[in-house]
Each structure stands twice: as structure tokens, then as C-alpha cells.
Amino acid sequence: MIRALILSLALPLAAVAAPDVLLIAVDDLNDWVGCLEGHPDVKTPNIDALASRGVLFTNAHCQAPLCNPSRTSLLSGLRPGRTGIYGLAPFIRTVPEFADIELLPGYFRKHGYATGIGGKVFHTYPDPRFRPRDFDAWGPACTFGPLPPEKFVQTPSPLRLVDWGVFPARDEEQNDHAIADWAISRLKEKSVRPRLVAVGFGKPHVPCFASQQWFDLYPADSIRLPEVPPDDLDDVPPFARYLHWDLPEPRLQWLRESGEWKALVRAYLACVSYVDSEIGRVLKALDESGAADNTIVVLFSDHGWHLGEKGISGKNSLWERSTRVPLVIAGPGIRPGRCGEAVELLDLYPTLAELAGLPLPTGLDGVSLRPQLKDPSAPRERPAITTANQGNHSVRDRHWRYIRYADGSEELYDHRQDPHEWTNLAADPAHAADKARLSAWLPDHDAPPAPGSAQRILTRDHDGRWIWEGKPTEGSGSR
């Protein structure tokens, strides 16, 4: 009788215990994931298994198609147009206006969580002077290594990271393996406090290197390439190419002429399966820790990646291939299912705060996804908005994508009829009402680039010329 009374008293306490949080970030992972059906041959059993026990957001989008602004938005809960972070620099806390901003991990630490980070969660590994605000423990940084003595593929860019092939010989040599090892050790530790563990993997970001076993999953003679109509860009505004004017990632034309298109697609698929295996190691450690039943697991990518679609590889576009990302949330009280509503990565900050029972932070641009975690079919009124440099925005709802560029040019796609975004309907008067409805959601804030902005920054000079990283785009020929 006494034992039964003790158990009855203990159960409510356990039910309201603050949950642990495991954040898993993946770099440059598009929808080539089994559960998202982005590529017919991709093999991601561990991500798929996680999706089956949580909510898979099939229409999730990043706030910027580039690492630093996307991760800054997610961790701050603010849109790029609020912070002015559009390029690979600066780190948000070096901007005077945001020196004391409360980022997601720091907010959890402030409210009693033990926090740890390993790999690429921020775009760059936090400077030591900023670390104490957010984390108690730090694991290895993401290096995208190791690299071979020389590049395998002599791309137009000499950048060492723009490369692909079978390397290294063993998974254990990969930087991502060390990052997973750190996360596993962290999950094995016992903590008297609830904990937030943030782990960020580098693959499938270039270099697309993986060991032979992962390439063997995708025989070269059976690789299926993305379908790219020859006239796909004929109805796209010229301004669209300014967003990816001069990138190190090669264009489709070069990939075709050099015979490397299939090799890159194969290498990307191999890297996706490789990183899925490292994610599986971390999830297995969570299950073995005994804490899985009280852990919220979030898996996301910072943005997508083109593999020939729209004539490019890489990111830096406002099209579906760049903006759509995998997003899975699983854990206690979450009803498994698939949600097709448009959602945003910056929704994660308020969502996690609410799930953890913390006071809801003020001033965030995101909206909690808790209604969809209770019922994946629950509707959302607002669309997802992606920004690529100042003045360029995409609005994506359940069925439509609307793009407006800084020069006023537009694109409009009906995903019910055109999931690949091959037919731009913006000039069709029959869709004026659709444009008006979607354009009403364009961001109110459109800040200029923050002080110290650099790398992939597009601006306009006093003569009205568009400037990409210090060089005029006009008159330079199509890149």
C-alpha cells in the first residue's frame, strides 16, 4: 500500500519533468531524404525512422538559402530583414545592436538547462568570448575534413572544398564521426539538470567525400539525374541570377561538358547516406541512455542544395530546391504524422521554449508549432518566407510560391500543377489575386546589410548598379 502510494505520487512528478532537447543540424541537406521522396533512390533509414515516430514537416523552409543567415535566424528567432545578416559574415553578436541578443541555447541555459555544442550549429564555431552565454560544454568544431593531398575534380573554382569522390577510406576518419562521438559521450553523461545537446554535421556540404561503402549504395550506371528542361530559365527574370552570380559551386553547363554531373549527384547521395549513419549512431546512443522517452529530438537542415536544377549547383536561390529543408520533431506528447502546412525554421525557438515549459520569449518572429505537434493536420494561417540579400523574398504557402526580387521582378508557381517550378505564372493576369494575397506577407523589415557583412552580399551602388561582392553584375555577362 505504501509502495503504491509512493508510485502514485512519483508519476505526476515524472510527467512534468522538464524534457531534454537534442538538436541535430545537417548542412546543405535538401529533400533527398527517403521520407521526403526528393530522390527516388536515396537511402536514409535512420532519418526515416525518426520521422516515423515524430512529426515530419513536408513543407518546411529556411529563412535564408545560405548557412550563416539561416542559422542566425533559427537561433535568434528573427528574420534576416530584422538583423541585416545576409552573408557568411558577420556573427550576430559582433553587430553592436545585437551584442546582447538572447539566442536559443543561451535562453535554455538561462532557465536552468545544461547546454553543449559539437560541430556546426552556428555557422562558425563560437569565438571563446561568446561561448559562456550559450554553452557549458563544447565538442569538436566542424572542419569538413579530412581533405586529400590534391583535388580530385578540377572545377572552375580552385576552392579545395568544391570537390567530390571516394575519400577517406574509413568513416572513422571523417570529422563528422568525431562530432557524433562527442554527442554520444554527452548523451551518456548523467545530469541533474535538464540538458540541451546541439550537434551539427557537415555532410553533405562539399566536399562530397564518403568512403566506398556509401558510393556502393548508388551504382554509377543507375544514377538518376534531376530533370532539367532546356527552356527552364526562359521565363525567369534576369535578376534571379544575381542571387548566385559568382559562386564556387559549378554550373550545370560545366558539369555536363566535363562529364561530372552524374559523379556529383552520386557523391551527394553517398554523403547523405553517410551522414544518416552518423545520425543513427547518435539516436542509438539516446535510446541506450534511458532518456529517450523524455527527450525532444529536432532534426533540420539549414537550407537545400541544387544539383543541376535551374542550371546551378549549390544554394543561394529563392526556388524550392534551395529553400525546402527536412524538419522532424519527435518526443514526449508529440503525435506522429506528416504536416503539409508551410512552416519556418525560425518557428523552432518559440516551439522548443513552449515544449520545455519555459516562459515564451518576446519579440520573436516565429510562431510555435505546438498545434501541429498535437495534431499534424492542424492548419496554419501564415506562409513561410525566405530572404536572399536585402529586398529579395520568397513567400511559400501550402500550394504556391511567390518571389519578388529587389528590382520588382516576380515569379509565381502553382505547386499543385508544377512542383518543379518550371512555369512562371507571374505575368498571367488570371493570377493577379494570388500574387496580391501572397505579396501581402512580404516582410515589413528589410534592413540593409549589417556592419561587417561579407561573402555573397548583393548591394546597389550610387549609380544604380547591382554589386556582387564588390564587383558590378551588369555588363559582366551571365554567370
pLDDT in tens, 34-63: 999 999 999 999 999 999 999 999 999 999
CA distance 240 to 316: 10
What phi and psi values does residue 68 have, to the nearest 5 degrees? -60, -50
Amino acid 16: pLDDT: 52
pLDDT in tens, 77-103: 999 999 999 999 999 999 999 999 999
CA distance 19 to 332: 8
| Cβ(380)–Cβ(57) below 8 Å | no
Confidence at 476, pLDDT banded by 50, 70, 90? very low
Dihedral (C-alpha) 461, 462, 463, 464: value to the nearest 10 degrees?
A: 60
Mean pLDDT of all residues in 150-156? 97
Residue in 299, 366, 371, 300 with CA at minimum distance from that of residue 333: 371
Mean pLDDT of all residues in 243-253? 96
Amino acid 326: pLDDT: 98
Does the pLDDT at position 8 exceed 80?
A: no
Confidence at 479, pLDDT banded by 50, 70, 90? very low
Helix runs in 318-426, H state only: 320-323, 348-355, 370-374
Q: Give 19: exposed, middle or buried? Use CB within 10 Å, 0-12, 13-18, 19+.
A: buried
Confidence at 73, pLDDT banded by 50, 70, 90? very high
Residue in 156, 87, 147 with CA at minimum distance from that of residue 123: 87
Catalytic residues: 67, 123
pLDDT in tens, 281-299: 999 999 999 999 999 999 9
What single-letter amino acid sits at 107?
A: Y
Does the pLDDT at position 6 exceed 60?
A: no
CA distance 367 to 350: 6
Confidence at 7, pLDDT banded by 50, 70, 90? very low
Mean pLDDT of all residues in 257-261? 98
- Which SS3 state, helix, strand or coil, does residue 416 take? coil
pLDDT in tens, 367-385: 999 999 999 999 999 999 9
Amino acid 446: pLDDT: 96
CATH 3.40.720.10 holds for 16-472? yes
Mean pLDDT of all residues in 187-199? 94
Does the pLDDT at position 13 exceed 60?
A: no
Extract the C-alpha cell encoding 300: 533540420
Mean pLDDT of all residues in 439-443? 98
Query: What DSSP string runs through 428-443?
Result: -GGGHHHHHHHHTTS-
Mean pLDDT of all residues in 135-153? 95
Amino acid 124: pLDDT: 82
Confidence at 32, pLDDT banded by 50, 70, 90? very high
Amino acid 130: pLDDT: 76
| Cβ(327)–Cβ(304) below 8 Å | no
pLDDT in tens, 158-176: 999 999 999 999 999 999 9
Does the pLDDT at position 477 exceed 80?
A: no
Does the pLDDT at position 389 exceed 90?
A: yes
Amino acid 126: pLDDT: 63
Instruction: Share the mean pLDDT of the chain.
Output: 94
